[in-house]
Every structure is written in structure tokens, then in C-alpha cells.
Structure 1
Amino acid sequence: MNKKRPLQAEDLLEYEIVSDPNFTPSGNAYTYVSTTINEKKEYESQLFFQKLDSNQRQQWTFSKNKNTNILISPDGKKAVFQSDRSGTQQLWLLPMQGGEAQQLTKLKHGASNPIWGPDSNTLIFSAPIEPEEDINNLTEISTEEKDKEQKELAKRPLVVNRLKYKSDSNGFHDQKRSQLFVLDIRTGNLEQLTNAPADHLLQDVSPNGNEILFIANLREEEDYEQVDDLFVLERSSKKVKKLTDSKCTYQRAVYSPDGNKIAAFGHNFTYAGATLTDLYIFNTGSYEKSNLSAEWDIQLGDAMIGDTRLGKSESGPIWAKDGKNIFFLATDYGVTGLYQVNLTGELDVLYKGSHHVFSFSYNGHSDSFILGISTPTNPCNFYHLKKNGEFNRLTDFNSALLSKLTLAEPETITVPTMDGEEIQGWLLHPSVYQDGEKYPMILEIHGGPHAMYGQTYFHELQLLAAKGYVVVYANPRGSHGYGQEFVNACRTDYGNGDYTDLMEVVDYVLTNFDFIDKDRLGVTGGSYGGFMTNWIVGHTNRFKAAVTQRSISNWLSFYGVSDIGFFFNEWEHGLNLLDDPKKLWDISPLKYAKNVETPLLILHGEKDFRCPVEQGEQLFITLKHLRKEVEFVRFPDANHELSRSGKPEMRIERLNHICRWFEKL
């Protein structure tokens, strides 16, 4: 029997992360995407097929690329998927009976998000295109030509004339916009359906194939707004009808099986970015809207924070085969589960445990579900849930690796606060734990702030426990999972109630767990958690080491350098830069740099456009000039997603730097 060992940072390279489970039309099998890190330390995604009554899986793709987003045609004879094997992400066709994949699109800028038409012969998809480009003369270019083009562009100045000119996910924007296309796979005929100067986000195709549902902001004020409207495009005439009033934002819109209704997630910004998501129903005859979730107090969708999720995940809404119920994931009290609602708003829980349901697929023939589930000690597996409640595990991913590791099961804590709130959190014991010994503790703080820690696998937390630390993580006010009032409670109050919540969590565990050494405390967090780490070390010296990641130090400059700064300050602080700069400075950690006595490690990605690297630079230079103990690590080519989907070697470097710094405890 193998002796178990503590987790290592490099174990990140060994995980198999699965995503996007999808039933075949018959309901007796399913497909999914598996992402691993190959010998070149690059992400590689492959497509798999597995029957429900078999433990054996069939691998459908083998190219050392990213093969994703597989969809089987309604007639069950073929499948479309996305792949970058040609050098650009394109659509490929795979016959179900076996054989080589056939490349369907060869567009210069690629293609994505395909949806089958009901005839199984047409595909509707999205593709970026510049305003004057002609799709008939827009063929895919080679990797060498693409590199040459990029080098030429790098020599030219960037002309900026839009407010939204960059994003953390895509870098600097150009003139390309995502348009909708339809492809006849029999003839190869390709037709462009939209051309407005805006991104068109494909949502669904009506059951009769005559209408296409998409989301966009087609208003002249689009550059200054965060709203997104729902539109219907009539295939034959290409006429576009707007369904909504430009006062909300919508996502994940889908037709009912009979085409008479549309279900969509959305919210009206009542609490800005802290507004809970609602479930809306539109009648396709009158397009009247009703809110099924008006009386609920839960966050729809998946708000769980983790660092091992990769790939596409379905959170709903999905219609039942009879059109009388709708299925979706929701986030509540540290877990995500599968829910059902009927058209009168009656809500039922179909599956909810001490787990993270990260994706699901529904099949009308079998009236059952495949659930993708993560637990605190297992990154991912698939399960079969029948409507009668029967629940079976289908897979055993990562079992060889996990059988070698000593992993920590979290202990749930509930911390009463002085102002009457209850803060949910968790504690991981160190893997070397022995009764009677004292151990250093690290407080982890999540980003968002409107997100949630919970019952999911978290490599970084397990690594710190493996290194001998007690790890404490909690959901202070501002977190999702505890209702609208709670998630809104940190807005216009950063550094006050949220800071007090975290300090009361620390006080609670020091009082109730006598194996924690109160003189050896560390703190770390990223994004909002980085802001809070910076705030903490400027307001207390109780921590002996701190690591701030992709953080915010100065809200004044954040307004102008972040891809979201121009609206985020108003959303979260109720402040605009020119209206009251003093108040923004008062809640900026940089103001309190003279108070910092805690050794601070600053980690930041060079290409982070969400919390730009200048935020880390300002803090480092100020502390260094004050002769404080501080170190700055800058990660090349890394954006805000470094810890979750950054280059594998950089992710490991980041983890090793964190562990190195906390050796000071």
C-alpha cells in the first residue's frame, strides 16, 4: 500500500479537469471535455464519449490542442466542436459512427459557440469580424502569417476612441465585433446574419428554426452602459426585434420546447453589481415579462470560488421536456445545488449536498441529469441523477493521484458578529497535525467581493494545509450565498464591516481552536481579497506575514486604469473620481502605508487589466521608500486569471512564492 504524502504545488500538473457534460439525444450516453497539462506544460483539451452503463470511455479527439464545446446534432448522427488545431479556433464536424474530423469553418478570426438548427443540417454560430470585412474573402491564415501580422501591428500606435477599449480577458480591443452566421453543412453556404457595430452573443434557436435569440447592446450609448438587451432575429427577413427595455442585463436565454416562452437570467442593477440574479420568463407572442424568482433570496447560477475549474459549464436555465418546469444551479450557504421551478414560481431542490455542482445536463427522454460535482477533496466527477432521486457516480477521475495525497477535510465554522450577523467559514487542519502542538494560521480572503467560498476543491488551500498551516477562509458581508441584504452589505462600506467580520473570524478561531499559535498569523487574498489584505496590514500588526495578489491599493488611479474602474467605483463605493476624490483616497490602502509593519509580498500579473500592475507598483514603491519589508513579483504575460487559468508554470511559481513568504511565520 502506498504511503500518502502531502500535496505539492507541482501536483497541479497532474490533475484531469472535466467539464461540459452533455447527454446524447437518446439519453443513454454523454460527452464531455477533459483538460490536462501536457509534457510541454500547456493546456490540452480532448473530447470523450461514455455510455451510462459502462465504465469505459471513448476518446474522440487526439490532437495536442484545445478541443471543446461539443454538441451532438438533434438527429444524433454527427457532432460539431471547436478546435484550435488549425492555428485558429474553428468549427469541426465529427461523424458519430467514427472517422476523421472535418473542418467546417476557415474564417480568418475563427468561429465559436455553435448551435444546431432543428434540421441537423444548419449551424448558427458566432465569429468576430471587422466592419468592412467580406466573409467570402476572409479565409484562415497560417500561423506564420498570423505571427507576421501581429508583429506588424505591434509597430503601430494604438488609436483609442472608446471608453471600453480593453478587457482583462481580451487585452486591447480592435474594431472586430462578434456577429452571427449560419452555415449549411451540406452545401457549405455561409451567410452573415448581423452586422451592427456591437457584439452579438448567440443564445438559442427557436424549435422551428425560424428565429435566433441573441443578447447585445445596440444603443448609441452602449459605450457608457452595462446593460444588455434580448433580441430576436427572424431568419428569413433578417429583421431584428428588441424584447427588453435597456434597463437590465440578461444572459443564458433559452426557448421552451414549444417555442412559446423564453427563460433567461438577468437583473435590473437595483444593487448595482451586488444585485441577485433573477429568472425571467418572456411570452414569445406578446413578449410580456414575468419574474419567477421575485420572492426568492438566493443567487441563481454558480458563484463558487475555486482554482481548478477549467472549461465550459452549464448552470441553466434549462427547460423540462414538457415545458412546465425549469432547471438551474443556484448558490446558497457555501454550496451550489440543482433546483427546479414551475411556471407559478414554486421552487424545489433536486440535489444539494456539501458539494459544488459546477455543471449539469438534462435529457428529456430519460428525464434525468448528469451532474458535474467537486468536493473539498476531489476536483471533479460526473454523477447520474434520476427524477426519482436515484443517484449514481459515473466516473473516478484523478483517483490515482488522490490516493497518494493527504488532503484536509474542511471543518465548518459559524462566527457570530457583534452587530448580529453570522459569518460562515471553514478551517483546514495542517496535514502534519498532532494533538498538543501549536501551528501557524493563514487567513485566505476571496475576490469579488460578490462571490463565495464553499465546498469545492481548492488546490491553493490544500497546499497551504500540506505545508503545515491551519487555513481559515470565510464569507464576510458582501459574499454571495446569504441573501440580497448580506451581499449588498459591503457596498459603500469597504474596509469597515467586511474588515470587522474577518477580524472576528480570526478572534473566533483563536478562541475555539487551541492548536493555533496566535503569534504566527498570516493573511493573503487576491483582487478584492488583495485590497483587503492591503487594508488589513495598514490597520493592524497582528499578522506576521502577508501576501497580496492582483490587488487594489489606490482607488483614485483604479478609476482610470482598470477595464471596469470607470463604473466599479460608483457601483461599489457610490463615488466618482471627480465628485469626491478625498473619500476615494480615504478608503485606499496606499494612504495607510506608513502604518504597515507586516512583511508584505506583492504578486501581480504584467497584463492584468482588471487590477492593473500599477496598483502593485504604487504599493511596492511607497513601502520600499519607507524602508518597509516588502518584495514585488511580476508575472510576465499573466492577466487577472493567473491563479485559475494562467500558464501552468507561472501558476506553480506563484504558489511557491506564497509558500516561501509564509515561511516567515
Structure 2
Amino acid sequence: MTLTATKFTPEVMLSAPRRSPGVPNPAGTLALYSVSTYSFHDHKKTAQIRILDIASGDSQSLVEEAGASEPVWLSDDEVIYLKSGGSGSTTLIVQRVGSPEAPAYEAGSIKGPISNLKVKKLADGTVALACSALATRDGHLVNPATEKKAHSSAKVYTTLFVRHWDAWNTQNSSSIFYGALEKKDGQYSLSGDALTNALAGTPLSSPVPPFGGTGDFDIGPEGLVFVAKDPELNDAMYTKTDLYFVPLKTFTESAPAAPRIIKTPGLEGYSNSPVFSSCGRKVAFTRMRSNQYESDKPRLLVVPDINNPDAVEEFYTTPDGEGGWDARPESILWSHDDATLYVTAEDHGRTLIFQLPSTPSDAGTSLPTPIATPDGSVSTFHLLPATDGNDTLFVTTTSLVDNSCYSTTHPHANTYTVISSASKHGRSFGLSRASVSSITFPATSSDGGYDVHALVVRPSTFSPGSGKKYPLCMLIHGGPQGAWLDAWSTRWNPAVFAEQGYVVVCPNPTGSTGYGMALQDGITGDWGGRPYRDLEACWEWVVGGNMPEVDADRAVALGASYGGFMINWIQGQPLGRKFKALACHDGVYSTLNQWTTEELFFPIHDFEGTIEENRAAYEKWDPARFIDQWATPQLIIHSELDYRLPITEGLAAFNVLQAKKVPSKLLVFPDENHWVLKHENSLVWHREVLGWINKYSGVEDEQQLVEQAKELTLE
């Protein structure tokens, strides 16, 4: 990383190289990753595929060309990646590592865009390949570039799901395609020069939109496993996804067997993260219980023999059905000998790796234990070759000060070794771990019985005991079943606010994940109740002498999504008068409008019924009920492609503020969804947000004084 900054600004963060998680080769000597960089000078992005030497930490460029993406290992020294071409086609390119005399070559060409590439070497030396792509109702690959264009833009629907996330739904759906790469005369080629749709002739769709990817399916020597929504239930109303198995022997079968469902009686919610064991006969995955709760607790399950899919075993079962492990397992990895499972889960503001025996009978009631990883949160992890019979993991982490760190972790010794940090552990940004801490404070006495945790980020110039005071910046997370993690973000990065001159407090109140299901589920039917009181308790703890460096008279608060709801709710409550300025990104103006969203199971669960069944709950927590109290200056940000919270929510809030003559500002992005993803738009977002809060907190005046002092010094 060549960037070195004396101050961490939005420009520095957004233009810094972004590394993907690293993936080791089978020998464990090299790691493959991609890196992209955006130039605000040239207004364009460049990308590379790079190779990291795991022993030395040195890296070198492998591929640097437009359209190259999704590299994966074929062998210890061969990489395959996708290259988008003309007319919407995709080419499979193979590149040998460390052999400049061996040019890259084409292994096949697909007449349409594909993504989520995965490969698996089979016993006969061929390589099974799977990917995802859009398919028509009759199972054919969709190529938008060559599709016949309609003469009208009209859309007609007679059933729910009309749009999702940021797109209007069509009859096309995501599907999994497979094929085999055969090696002849030293080069791989796609058998039959075509891929087969594993879901053709079925009503199934996978990966599950809008965020499904390679984690929704896996390749094993016996075939494919994947998750898909239940076609008998409406996608807008239910979360139920099932796990399926498609038996395949050669991955050249042109007519695969029908997918076989993996039944899990009593668990009817999301299925996720299916992964074959090292031997290829077993499958581990997670599944939720409720079919209308997207944030229900995932249960960890295993299929001991994929050819007997009816025999599924669950870990940590309890008579009441709640499960004995009060955590939310996510990604899963099998040990080399299949005796151990490594599983990620959130825990008090971090994502950690836990280990446990791979069978429920061996696990018993002894709960999983975390293993040592670097500061921050785990993004991905992979097995390296065993050393002295012990597993070693290659781990990618990020933290509040470090945007990418690769390390090796040794579960048997509970130690880790850092290989490479893209930002030199934050030093390239002028950041350090010394700026990061956390606080714990009690809930209000009326709620009682639990403590609330918050992450804290202070300016890099902060000096304990100096007497200098900094305005408080309170960040409120979305979800609401989510959490602030010790992890990197280019959308809501606490360090960006801290480096402006704030003490940033990121509370994880009722509704937050990673603190047990009781705290998380406490928000159900209580959106503006316990979570709001937890934020009040946070305020009182911070300004009550526990953080003397905080200037409460210049405090600001910001939030997005549910955090945006909370900003609008705070506007109408006593806490709203304690802030000098507020900022609301894609927030809820009125909970009575929740049925303008796309995933209707969300309000059905959180408000305990449809609006017809429980209108009182929607009305009780409606921020619009209290607009007579709105008085604090507020910035409203909303995006027109946010179909989860339509643009009218932002417009209504802004119109109310303007009509009341409350200082307010509206920032709109016509080409963004629930998040602001484009670099140039993100820079505008940061400039507007920081400009707004700095104006009302007095930070703007402080910055002007610093600049004037510099000018006087120069004179």
C-alpha cells in the first residue's frame, strides 16, 4: 500500500486500496486476492489480481486488466478468473503463477454474464465448476446485452413480490450452473464448451437475492448443495429457504437429477452457509426456526451422509427448542480430519472464530470456544495444510483502524501470526488502536437487568488528562437487528468522524446482535421503547462524569435505516433537544408506511402482525406522531433506488422540517440504493454530512481557526 496520510479524511478512506479476503492455494504457500483503487483525480477505478507469499508477506501483481474478476485457485500455481467481454459474454481465463513465459489462455466462453465462481478438484483430476447466472423461466441463460428490447417500459404484476432491494422483479431468476474443466496437453478447457443449469425444470432460485453469493452453495465429490426460497410461499411474506442436494458424479451430466430437499422439522426459516466436509460425504449448515423473522437465531446442523438427506442432526438442542448456544453462527469450515468445525459468530462487537466437535453427540452441552485472532473482526477463513497433525487457518480480518489484515491462526496453540496489513495496522491512515476502546453502562432502572455495550473512537490527537474537550458524536446503527462491530467500513466509519475532532460513541442497544437473543429480541414490538431508553442511558452515562473529555453541549447524532428511524424518533422526544444537530440517512418517517417496503415479513415480525392485524403497534412507534416537537437542525439523506425505504420517507421528513422552519437540508442520490456505493457519491455524502454536523457542533469554527493559524505562521 503506497498511500500514507497525515490525517484520515473521507478522500483518504475512499481512495485507499481495497483488498478482497485472501484465499490460500492448496499447498498453503501463496494467497490469492484482488485489490481495487479509485482516483478522484482521474475519476476512475483500477483493479489488480495479486499473489501474496504467505511466508514472507510479499506480493506481486498477477493480472491487471479491465473486466477481470473473481479469481480462484485451480492448483498450487494455476488461477482461473472471469473476464467480461463484448455482447455480455464471459470468458474463463487461466493464468499460471510465477511463469511469465506461459501466457494466459481461454478455458471456455459463456454467452452471458456469470458470477460467484467456485471450483473443486475431483478424484479423476477434472475440476468441477459452479457459478450463478440469471436464467429464464425455461432455464436458459439470460444475456441482457442480447435480449430483445421491449417497446414499452410498463410493468404489470398480479402477485407480490414486485420489486426487491433496488430492482423491479422480472420472470428471470438466479440459478446455479455447473460444468467440468478437463486438462489436455497441459491446458484446461470447459467440457462441451457449455454450462448446465442445475435448477432447470424446477421453480427454485439460488443464490437467494439480494445478497446471496458463493455462501449459498457448495461443490463436493457427490454433487452440489444449495439453498433456495420455498416456491410454495410468497417471497415477500416469508423467509423460508431450504437446503437441497443435486447428485452429480462427473459434472458433465446434461440432465441432472431433481434436487432433493434436506428436511429439518421444527426449523422453517432461512437456511445458510452449506459446506461439504473434507471427505465430501457430510454437510454442515445453519437454519433459523421462524419463517417470518430474517434475524432469528441460526441453528448449527450437520448431515452425516449427504446420500441420506433425511438424517439431519442439530447441535445444542434443548427441550424448549431455544437451543443451548446463545450465539448466531455464520460461516463454517471443516477441519482436515472432519473432527472439528470452525464457525464464525458475533460476540460483543467482534466477529470471532469458534471451534467445536463436528458431531452433536461429541459436542454435547460444552459450548464452542473462541480462538485467537487479530484485533477486529473475521471476514473469511480457510484451511492451510496441517502442521504436525494440527490445523492452521488463513484468516482475513478488518478492524476500526485497519482495512485489511491477513494472518495465520493456530487453534491448537490459540495463537496467531500476522502476515500482512494493507494499512500497516492503521498507521498509513494516521490511526492506531490507542484510539479505540469500549464502554459498558447499565440500562435504565425501569428496564434493569442488563448492561449495554458501546464502541468508542477518539481522535488520534487525543491526549488523556490534557483537559481538552471534544463534542460527542453518537452513531446509531441500522438493522435494527445489527451491531457496530470492531470492523472496517467505507460507508459508516467512526474514525472519519473522530478525525474531524469528535469523541465517537457507537452504542449497541436493545435489538443489537452479538449479545444474546434476549437483548436482540427485546426490540420486537418495542421499536421506540427499550432501544430509545438505552440510548438515553448511554447519554447520561457519557455526560455524567464518566467521560470528562466529552463536550455534551456540542453533541450530534446520526443514523441510517433503523438508525434513521431512531433519529426521527429522537427528534420528537426529550433526547432530541440535547443534540445540536441530527443526520438521518434512508430513515423511517412514519411506521404506518412500512408496507411500502418490499420484504413484508420484516414489519410483520417486528410489529407483531400485519398493519390490519395490529395497527396500534405501527401507530405507537410512529415518529410522525411527534412532529410537533421537531426542532433540532436535521440533514435528510435518501436514495431513489432504496425500495426498502422509499424516497417518500425522506421527502416527508424534509417537508415537515421545512414547513416548521427548522434548519434542514435534503441530499438525494437518484442512482443509489439503501447504501451509497459509488465513490464520487460517497465523497459528496461525507462532505455534506461532515459539513452539517461540523457547522452546528462548532468543529467548523475550530477548523477555520487552525487554518488561520497556519496562514499566520506562513506569513
Percent identical residues: 19
| Structure 2 residue matching 1:338: 3-state secondary structure | strand
1:473, distance to aligned residue in structure 2 (A): 1.0
Q: 1:307 aligns to what?
A: none
Q: Structure 2: which amino acid aligns with 1:158?
A: K
Inter-partner Cα distance in structure 1 for 2:587 and 2:150: 30
Q: 2:711 aligns to what?
A: none
Residue by residue over 1:516-544, the C-alpha shift from the partner in whole angstroms, topping out at 9 and shown as x without a partner, is: 22221111010111111111111021111
Q: 1:276 aligns to what?
A: 297
Does the alignment pair 1:525 with 2:559? yes
1:7-26 residue pairs with structure 2 within 5 A?
7-26=8-27
| Structure 1 residue matching 2:652: 3-state secondary structure | helix
CA contact (8 A) 2:19 2:35 kept: yes
Inter-partner Cα distance in structure 2 for 1:350 and 1:617: 47
Q: 2:409 aligns to what?
A: 385
Q: Structure 2: which amino acid aligns with 1:335?
A: R
Q: 2:579 aligns to what?
A: 543
Q: 1:414 aligns to what?
A: 440
Structure 1 pair 83–109 and aligned structure 2 pair: CA distance change class (3 A): closer
CA contact (8 A) 2:270 2:291 kept: no
Does the alignment pair 1:238 with 2:257? yes
Q: Structure 2: which amino acid aligns with 1:99?
A: P
Inter-partner Cα distance in structure 2 for 1:116 and 1:618: 52
| Structure 2 residue matching 1:318: 3-state secondary structure | strand
Inter-partner Cα distance in structure 1 for 2:295 and 2:192: 48
Inter-partner Cα distance in structure 1 for 2:514 and 2:426: 32
Q: 2:338 aligns to what?
A: 323
Q: 1:102 aligns to what?
A: 106
Structure 1 pair 576–624 and aligned structure 2 pair: CA distance change class (3 A): same
Inter-partner Cα distance in structure 1 for 2:670 and 2:105: 36
Residue by residue over 1:69-102, the C-alpha shift from the partner in whole angstroms, topping out at 9 and shown as x without a partner, is: x2223x5463332344557483523133552252
Q: 1:599 aligns to what?
A: 633
| Structure 1 residue matching 2:343: 3-state secondary structure | strand
Q: Gaps spanning 5+ residues in structure 2: where?
A: 181-189, 208-213, 317-322, 698-715
CA contact (8 A) 1:329 1:337 kept: yes
Inter-partner Cα distance in structure 2 for 1:120 and 1:19: 27
CA contact (8 A) 2:561 2:585 kept: yes
Inter-partner Cα distance in structure 2 for 1:619 and 1:217: 35
Inter-partner Cα distance in structure 2 for 1:154 and 1:328: 51
Q: 2:706 aligns to what?
A: none
Structure 1 pair 217–473 and aligned structure 2 pair: CA distance change class (3 A): closer
Q: 1:510 aligns with which of 501, 521, 543?
A: 543
Q: Structure 2: which amino acid aligns with 1:620?
A: F
1:272-311 residue pairs with structure 2 within 5 A?
272-284=293-305, 285=308, 287-293=310-316, 294-301=323-330
Q: 2:503 aligns to what?
A: 470
CA contact (8 A) 2:177 2:196 kept: yes
1:492, distance to aligned residue in structure 2 (A): 0.8
Inter-partner Cα distance in structure 2 for 1:206 and 1:624: 56
Inter-partner Cα distance in structure 2 for 1:651 and 1:277: 33
Q: Structure 1: which amino acid aligns with 2:247?
A: E
Does the alignment pair 1:449 with 2:485? no
Q: Structure 2: which amino acid aligns with 1:266?
A: R
Q: Structure 2: which amino acid aligns with 1:211?
A: G
Q: 2:132 aligns with which of 103, 126, 129?
A: 126
Q: Structure 2: which amino acid aligns with 1:174?
A: T
Structure 1 pair 230–508 and aligned structure 2 pair: CA distance change class (3 A): same
Inter-partner Cα distance in structure 2 for 1:462 and 1:126: 37
Q: 1:664 aligns to what?
A: 696
Q: 1:334 aligns with which of 321, 324, 349?
A: 349
CA contact (8 A) 2:607 2:614 kept: no
1:298, distance to aligned residue in structure 2 (A): 1.7
Residue by residue over 1:410-461, the C-alpha shift from the partner in whole angstroms, topping out at 9 and shown as x without a partner, is: 2211111221211111222334546223322111101111112132235631
Q: 2:29 aligns to what?
A: 28
Inter-partner Cα distance in structure 2 for 1:32 and 1:326: 25
1:29, distance to aligned residue in structure 2 (A): 1.7
| Structure 1 residue matching 2:472: 3-state secondary structure | strand
Q: 1:553 aligns to what?
A: 589
Q: Structure 2: which amino acid aligns with 1:378?
A: D
1:154-173 residue pairs with structure 2 within 5 A?
155-168=152-165, 170-173=166-169
Q: 2:199 aligns with which of 188, 194, 211?
A: 194
Residue by residue over 1:339-385, the C-alpha shift from the partner in whole angstroms, topping out at 9 and shown as x without a partner, is: 11112225232224642122111124453111112222211110112
Q: 1:309 aligns to what?
A: none
Q: 1:305 aligns to what?
A: none
Q: Structure 1: which amino acid aligns with 2:513?
A: H
Structure 1 pair 43–487 and aligned structure 2 pair: CA distance change class (3 A): farther
1:112-123 residue pairs with structure 2 within 5 A?
112-116=116-120, 118=122, 119-123=125-129
Q: Which moved more, 1:158-167 or 1:478-487?
A: 158-167
Structure 1 pair 556–259 and aligned structure 2 pair: CA distance change class (3 A): same
| Structure 1 residue matching 2:325: 3-state secondary structure | coil
1:478, distance to aligned residue in structure 2 (A): 0.7
Q: 2:320 aligns to what?
A: none
| Structure 2 residue matching 1:495: 3-state secondary structure | coil
Which one scores higher on RCO, CA 8 angstroms, separation ≥ 6? Answer: 1
Q: Structure 2: which amino acid aligns with 1:605?
A: S
Q: Structure 2: which amino acid aligns with 1:94?
A: V
Does the alignment pair 1:488 with 2:521? yes
Structure 1 pair 553–575 and aligned structure 2 pair: CA distance change class (3 A): farther
Q: Structure 1: which amino acid aligns with 2:243?
A: L
Q: 1:369 aligns to what?
A: 393
Q: 1:425 aligns to what?
A: 454
CA contact (8 A) 2:136 2:171 kept: yes
Q: Gaps spanning 5+ residues in structure 1: where?
A: 302-315
Structure 1 pair 420–545 and aligned structure 2 pair: CA distance change class (3 A): same
Residue by residue over 1:451-479, the C-alpha shift from the partner in whole angstroms, topping out at 9 and shown as x without a partner, is: 12132235631121111122111100110
Q: Which moved more, 1:452-461 or 1:199-208?
A: 199-208
Inter-partner Cα distance in structure 2 for 1:391 and 1:431: 27
CA contact (8 A) 2:401 2:425 kept: no
| Structure 2 residue matching 1:287: 3-state secondary structure | coil
Residue by residue over 1:10-63, the C-alpha shift from the partner in whole angstroms, topping out at 9 and shown as x without a partner, is: 112332222232121112222122232246544544322222223321222211
**TM-score (normalised: structure 1):** 0.88
Q: 2:211 aligns to what?
A: none
Inter-partner Cα distance in structure 2 for 1:359 and 1:297: 22
Does the alignment pair 1:57 with 2:59? yes
| Structure 1 residue matching 2:382: 3-state secondary structure | strand
Structure 1 pair 76–635 and aligned structure 2 pair: CA distance change class (3 A): same
1:628, distance to aligned residue in structure 2 (A): 2.3
Structure 1 pair 134–267 and aligned structure 2 pair: CA distance change class (3 A): closer
Inter-partner Cα distance in structure 2 for 1:253 and 1:3: 41
Q: 1:562 aligns to what?
A: 597
| Structure 2 residue matching 1:529: 3-state secondary structure | helix
Inter-partner Cα distance in structure 2 for 1:404 and 1:200: 39
| Structure 1 residue matching 2:109: 3-state secondary structure | coil
CA contact (8 A) 1:443 1:472 kept: yes
The number of residue pairs the alignment matches comes to 632
Residue by residue over 1:245-298, the C-alpha shift from the partner in whole angstroms, topping out at 9 and shown as x without a partner, is: 572321111122233321002211289234222211123225322222432112
Question: Aligned-residue CA RMSD in angstroms?
Answer: 2.7
Does the alignment pair 1:248 with 2:279? no
| Structure 1 residue matching 2:110: 3-state secondary structure | coil
Structure 1 pair 295–252 and aligned structure 2 pair: CA distance change class (3 A): same
CA contact (8 A) 2:589 2:653 kept: yes
CA contact (8 A) 1:115 1:204 kept: no
CA contact (8 A) 1:183 1:191 kept: yes
